[in-house]
A = this chain, B = another copy of it.
Amino acid sequence: MCNSCGCGDHELVPVDVHERILAGNDKTAAHNRAHFGAAGVVAINLMGAPGAGKTAVLEATARALAGCRIVALAGDLATDNDAVRLRAAGITASAITTGSACHLDAQMVHKALHDAPWRAADYLFIENVGNLVCPAIYDLGQAANVVALSVTEGEDKPLKYPVMFRAADLVLITKVDLLPHLPDISLDRIAHNLTRVMPRPQFLPVSSTDGRGLDAWRTWLEAKRTLVSSAT
């Protein structure tokens, strides 16, 4: 095509700029992490595609962790819909609206913490912007990355979005109650694809609708809390 029309050169993307931004982010993330550690708060970065069921998982988590103090920050480009839903579920939640930004970064989280009573929490859930790409490379200071992957998204997402799944400490395979209506989707094949990508494959099939898997999810969270408590 170039040869036939003589089109000229194109703008170059400055690769060093991205690295500089990430280095600045990592610095703030380390700062957030130090604070979470000192306060004995388990911070979870919950990521996933739009509509993967992140907010529904947190609503179900509030029920599963009854008695725990849960604070949440909910990231979205626009609206505070998720924070409103989480508050209705009994979670102390505030919204981070990013405008056009496709991910949360450590500075946005840091800023949001000023107005959130996170020091009194057992768990701080940071619900990231729905996106299976960009959030994975921005450390927020979390103790663990959890990725929600819904069965309705198909089986090959771990292979097609490897950066996200490589960074995951745990994958929640959500909406498994819908599997009977998805004849082409196999939970085994999703699990197989996760094992091909995750360095230490850990995943739990869950349903926020019928409660399946939530006991195991609570146990996983409690184990994280034990680790944080023993370190403080």
Contacts and interface: CB of A to CB of B under 8 A. Distances in A.
A77 B133 contact: yes
A17 interface: yes
A160 B25 CA distance: 25
Interface residues of A, number: 55
B20 A5 contact: no
B50 A157 contact: yes
A21 B28 contact: no
A51 B190 CA distance: 13
B50 A160 contact: yes
A21 B110 CA distance: 28
Given A49-B49, A131-B132, A5 B21 contact: no
B35 A10 contact: no
A61 to B, nearest CB: 18
A109 to B, nearest CB: 10
Interface string A150-171: 1011101101111100000000
A10 B50 contact: no
Contacts of A150: 51, 152
Contact of A153 (B23, B35, B50): B50
Given A50-B153, A131-B102, A11 B24 contact: yes
A152 B178 contact: yes
Interface string A16-50: 01001101110110010001000000000000011
A20 B14 CA distance: 10
B175 A134 contact: no
Given A10-B107, A11-B25, A35-B1, A163 B49 contact: no
Nearest to A28: B10
Contacts of A28: 7, 10
Contact of A78 (B13, B79, B100, B162): B162
A152 B157 CA distance: 16
Contacts of A79: 156, 159-160
A226 interface: no
